[in-house]
Chains A and B, each alone.
Chain A
Amino acid sequence: QVQLVESGGGVVQPGRSLRVSCVASGFTFSDYILHWVRQAPGKGLEWVAVVSFDGTIKYYADSVKGRFTISRDNPKNTVYLQMNSLTTEDTAVYYCARGYDILTGDYWGQGTLVTVSS
């Protein structure tokens, strides 16, 4: 069965960096694009970034452009989100989700909580 499992969340100070990961199983990883989506406590969903099948094409939300980097390692079935210059506004549950061109997020992970606090 399709599974996406995020990890790497935790408490980090403002201005610091953190990398979260998402390991996939149950499907051919390189056949799908991968998204990161976040949800601040008590707030709505915010799309963060997407990476293409081979990792060459990436798009970002304006709120994270220049600070966050999405990447993937197809042999390891893993997608990453490197987050730099974190602020309290980045506190959220971070979900990974798979998709393809016309479909976003048919399967989601359970999320990993990132808390930015001094």
Chain B
Amino acid sequence: QTVVTQEPSLTVSPGGTVTLTCASSTGAVTTGNYSNWFQQKPGQAPRALIYSTSNKHSWTPARFSGSLLGGKAALTLSGVQPEDEADYYCLLDFGGVRVFGGGTKLTVL
């Protein structure tokens, strides 16, 4: 089965910028993979942030943005806040079958 790979962990300073990536074992991620990004904090259900590569939900803070970067899906946080410390997951669509990445644990320090 297709494997989706994310950085296991990243650390960023408050106010800084960080980019999380999401790669596919089948090749370059494209707009046709409709990448979605989710944030999950301990004990909570996931919260949707980005859909279809770069579209924000009405509740998504402006500091979060999605894109394609070097054949991967990417989530960029600009002006990181302490409350952004969480696990982040990407999800890719492979013609109906979806696959999550392993998640990135983001530490704000």
Question: Interface of A with B (CB < 8 Å)?
Answer: 35, 37, 44-47, 50, 57, 59-63, 95, 97, 101-111
Contact = CB atoms under 8 A, between A and B. Distances in A.
Given A37-B100, A50-B96, A105-B38, 13 more contacts: A44-B100, A44-B103, A57-B96, A59-B98, A61-B1, A95-B45, A101-B34, A103-B36, A104-B91, A105-B36, A105-B46, A105-B91, A108-B46
Contact of B45 (A44, A47, A59, A111): A111
> What secondary structure prevails in chain A residues at the interface with B?
strand
B62 interface: no
A106 B51 contact: yes
Interface residues of B, number: 25
Contacts of A97: 46
A61 B94 CA distance: 11
Contacts, number: 71
A47 B38 contact: no
16 contacts: A44-B100, A45-B38, A45-B89, A45-B100, A47-B99, A61-B97, A61-B99, A97-B46, A103-B36, A103-B51, A104-B36, A105-B36, A105-B91, A108-B47, A108-B48, A111-B45
A103 to B, nearest CB: 4
